[in-house]
Amino acid sequence: MFLEIIDVIISGLINGSVYALMAVGLTLVYGVTKAFNFAYGSFYNMGGYFAWMLLIPLGMIGGYFSVFFIAIPAFFIVGYLLEKVLVSPLRKYDDWEMKVMMLTLGLSLFMDFGYQAVFGPRIKSLPGIIEGTIEIGKVVLFQQDIVIFILSIGGMLCFGWILNNTRTGMAVMAVAQNPAGAQIVGIPKDFIFAATFAISTIMVGLGGILLCQKNFIDPMGSTNIMIKAWVITAFGGMGSIRGSLYAAFILGMLEAFVGWYFGMIHVQIATLTLLLATLAVRPQGLMGRE
Amino acid sequence: MILILSVFYCLMAIMPLFVGSADYIMNILIMILIWAVIASCWDVIMGFAGIFSFGQVAFYVIGAYASAILSVSLNIPPVLAIIMAGVITGLLGVIVGLPCLKLAGPYVALVTFAVHMTLIPFLRGPLGRAIGSGGAQGILTIPPIRFFGFAFSSGHLVPFFYLTLVLTIVCTLLLVVIIKSYWGTAFLALKDSENFATSLGISAFKYKLMVFAITSFITGLFGALYAHYVGMLSTKMLSMDVFTILMIMMVIGGIGKYPGVVIGAVITVTINQLLAPLGMYRPLIMGAIVVLLVLFLRDGVIGLIQNLSRSQRKFTEKNEPLKVAPKGK
């Protein structure tokens, strides 16, 4: 019983850390560009399929190291182009928010069934990033879990550092606070919008590569991931990075415990109940500003 | 608006004279009627009231399941069950609408879409089975509608078509009256500037709840009608491609350009039926259509027509001699 609970807590922590990575990307892109991205889950699957394609059929030398090395620039380019081609032309309309939602929902359907058409409808599994276990007393830890945890937290801290300490990062923050003001002082607003979208694509794509090792790649699972990322973002407060960090771990734990105690089918109901309860009591989320 | 609608329904009413024997086409026509009303409801809540509700398909399914469960498990006659399903859906709409009143745009989309996503595990899981949703299998034996001993089953499509047509016209009239009345103006005012509208004494609380209640009531009614038409239900109705079909209607018709969605429904249901042989590639194409339409068709069909007539007017104005209006009046 005690050991089981330890296992559940560990699985909650791992899921929470990857969710945090994805949710921070989402809160960043919403905070800066105000675009509500419904295709977020499909980018997660894109990460999974990208790694699968490089590792299994192509047999990439260097394993996950070269996957990450190729994935980061590739996802940046995909995200950048998508923003430039699909989202930014809509910005000139009055009701562009609604149009972006519809467009990304269509894009998500297109991508999901595209995966199905290309890779087949079956779920795929990725090899672990590292094999083997560590035993501490009676608790058995997978080395894979530890690496996933370290990589996702490390990736998030890295993005946080970039955001707070580099010129580009500060430009992103400036655009988030006041787009017009940022443009007046010479920050290329359109580039920042596209770059933020691209960075969020990288973050969710990396999340996909990391989490798909544990949870398989399911071509139809993207809506679940999208809802999860959005619930974390809304629960933590839109635009608040620290809030989504806390929310991601709370939700990861909640999910692990509900899944263990009541069964996996209730996880989504519990998640969404949490969302509704939070929004009813505190519409701005856990750490969001009014 | 009324011209387009009346032409559309008159055309629909005489269609069975020509194609009444072809069940395939009659089925498409019935689906067009049902979808036209559901899409109109979505247009009223999203285009007119400006609430980003993404729960329209959820309300449709709630209505369908409510009526099916009432008539199968409790043996309530279908006509009564349909009306009760409408009322239940309307109440649920108000319950969903309540937390949405305090929230800003994207949050509303999230909450309503969350309702949609919760319905799938709810109806498939033990909770749904407890109220009689049939779990993953769905409900298979829904009785057809009976009026004084006459059954409107899917065996005789022409009577069912006219029943749907009558209901559709009633609900469309209701929506038109609402849009044209003080309420419709209030919705528009709240959409354009909520603070200013409330300062003029338009209660955001009252009108937003009202729009949730009315649209979900009508949507539930037609969901129930659909349930008794096809005779079986499953959670497949909640899949994303049904949602996308609804969205394409909206984009083709133009958001907030009311009778546009009706034209959108005609085009979309037909395209969907034509693409059916493509199997798995159909949703793929539908997704691509949404992306392209949102990018290139700004205000839908109605917007196109308006643009055309406007440019025509500009053209004629240019060729007419310039008239100088007398000043100082």
Give per-residue pLDDT as tens, B295-308.
888 777 777 888 88
DSSP letter for A84, please.
I
Residues with Cβ < 8 Å from A123, sequence gap 6 or more?
A216, A217, A218, A219
Indicate the length of chain A as a whole number.
290
How far apart (Å, rounded) are the C-alpha atoms in residues A19 and A13? 10
The pLDDT of residue A38 is above 50: yes
Find, in chain B, the residue whose alpha carbon is nearest to that of A266.
Answer: B121
pLDDT band at A156 (very low <50, low <70, confident <90, very high): confident
Contact flag A108-B291 (C-beta cutoff 8 Å):
no
Tokens for A170, please give them: 């500060």
To test the contact with chain B by mutation, choose from A279, A281, A284 the residue with the greatest count of B C-beta atoms within 10 A, namely A279
Chain A segment 52-91 residues within 8 A of B by beta carbon are 86, 89-90
One-letter amino acid at B201 equals G
Question: What is chain B's alpha carbon radius of gyration, rounded to the nearest angstrom?
Answer: 21
Query: Which pLDDT score, from 0 to 100, does residue B329 have?
Result: 43
Q: Are A60 and A54 in contact (CB under 8 A)?
A: yes
> Which residues from chain A sit within 8 angstroms of residue B126, using beta carbons?
265
pLDDT in tens, chain B (329 residues): 778 888 888 888 888 888 767 788 888 888 999 999 999 999 888 888 888 888 889 999 999 999 999 988 888 888 889 999 999 999 999 988 888 887 777 788 888 888 888 888 888 888 888 888 877 788 888 888 877 767 777 667 888 888 889 999 999 999 889 888 888 888 888 888 888 888 888 888 888 888 899 999 999 999 999 998 888 888 888 888 788 888 888 888 888 887 888 888 998 998 888 888 887 788 888 889 889 988 888 777 777 888 888 877 766 666 655 555 555 44
Tokens 């050991």 belong to A3
- Distance (Å) from the C-alpha of residue A211 to the closest C-alpha of chain B? 22
Q: How confident is the model over B225-235, as pLDDT tens digits?
A: 999 888 888 88
- Distance (Å) from the C-alpha of residue A54 to the closest C-alpha of chain B? 24
**A/B interface, count of CB pairs below 8 Å:** 127
SS3 content of chain A, % helix, strand, coil (to 5): 75, 5, 20
Query: Which pLDDT score, from 0 to 100, does residue B60 have?
Result: 93
Query: Which pLDDT score, from 0 to 100, does residue B260 have?
Result: 84
**Of the candidate ranges A26-30, A62-66, A188-192, B323-327, the one whose mean pLDDT is the lowest:** B323-327
Tokens for B86, please give them: 């409408």
Query: Which pLDDT score, from 0 to 100, does residue B58 have?
Result: 92
Contact flag B111-A275 (C-beta cutoff 8 Å):
yes
More confident call, A258 vs B327 = A258
Q: Are B43 and B255 in contact (CB under 8 A)?
A: yes
Tokens for B63, please give them: 């209505």
Q: Could you tell me the residue ranges of all domains in chain B?
A: 2-238
* A211 backbone φψ class: left, alpha, beta (φ>0; ψ -120 to 50): alpha
More confident call, B297 vs A170 = A170
- Complex ipTM: 0.83
Tokens for B287, please give them: 């997704």
Q: Are A29 and A16 in contact (CB under 8 A)?
A: no
Contact flag A276-B114 (C-beta cutoff 8 Å):
yes
- The residue segments making up the domain with residue A57 are 20-222
The verdict on residue A215 lying in a domain is: yes
Task: Work out the mean pLDDT of chain A and round it to a whole number.
Answer: 85
Domain count within chain A:
1
The verdict on residue A113 lying in a domain is: yes
B288 touches chain A (CB under 8 A): yes
The verdict on residue A257 lying in a domain is: no
CA distances from B81 to A59, A189, B63, B96, B112 (A): 59, 56, 10, 22, 25
Contact flag B280-A116 (C-beta cutoff 8 Å):
yes
The verdict on residue A129 lying in a domain is: yes
Q: List B152's β-bridge partners, or say none.
A: B145
Query: Which pLDDT score, from 0 to 100, does residue B296 have?
Result: 85
To test the contact with chain B by mutation, choose from A95, A99, A102 the residue with the greatest count of B C-beta atoms within 10 A, namely A102
Of B56, B228, B57, nearest to B139 by C-alpha is B228
Instruction: Name the residue facing A102 among B113, B247, B284 (closest C-beta).
Output: B247
B193 touches chain A (CB under 8 A): no
More confident call, A182 vs A130 = A182
- Distance (Å) from the C-alpha of residue A73 to the closest C-alpha of chain B? 25
Tokens for B302, please give them: 């109605």
